[in-house]
Amino acid sequence: MNRLSRISYRSSEKISAAKLFCRILYLSIKIKVMKKVLLCLMMIVGFCLINCKKEKVNVREILIGKWTHIKEGWQSPIGSAETFNISPEGSYVEFKADGTYIQNFNGNILTTTWELNTNDNKIQLVGFTNNYTIVKLTQTELIYYFDEIYDQNGNQMKVTNYQSR
């Protein structure tokens, strides 16, 4: 059986050439319409993806203000289980718009200046060799860790600070 004869049989009935032509024409029109619908859907999805970009977060603006020190997590050496020290009541850090950094930890106050790196993910305290790498920053939560800290045995360790507003 050739292809046309297979198409022309339906429930063992012969279809006239005119009906066969109409069905083939109908199917080809349906396929063209479906291609256009699919193309339109792809254009709509592409348009949404292009125009739904996230706005760049201004890290500096969010960072500025007073943050209550909640706890510190220690890993020594890095990769070991994190142990936590709950911060004394009243402990905080404050990032001021003029670049002033104030830290009050258990009544010991440190004042210096701070700046962000160009990627907005590291805080540099002027006069200190360690950077703070920002892990999470929202309007109400700040988590960062100290870069390149070593314990008394020379093992690199990780100290993570948890802050809130």
pLDDT given at position 63: 93
Q: Is 60 exceeded by the pLDDT of residue 134? A: yes
Q: Is 60 exceeded by the pLDDT of residue 8? A: no
pLDDT given at position 123: 92
Assigned token pair, 23:
């069905």
pLDDT given at position 82: 85
State pTM to two decimals: 0.62
pLDDT digits (tens, 9 = 90+) for 10-57: 544 566 777 878 888 788 888 888 888 888 888 888 877 777 666 677
Which of the two residues, 7 and 117, has the higher pLDDT score?
A: 117
Q: Is 60 exceeded by the pLDDT of residue 152? A: yes
Task: Please state the rounded mean pLDDT for residues 159-164.
Answer: 90
pLDDT given at position 53: 65
pLDDT given at position 100: 95
pLDDT digits (tens, 9 = 90+) for 59-108: 889 999 999 989 988 887 788 888 888 888 889 999 999 999 999 988 89
Q: Is 80 exceeded by the pLDDT of residue 118? A: no
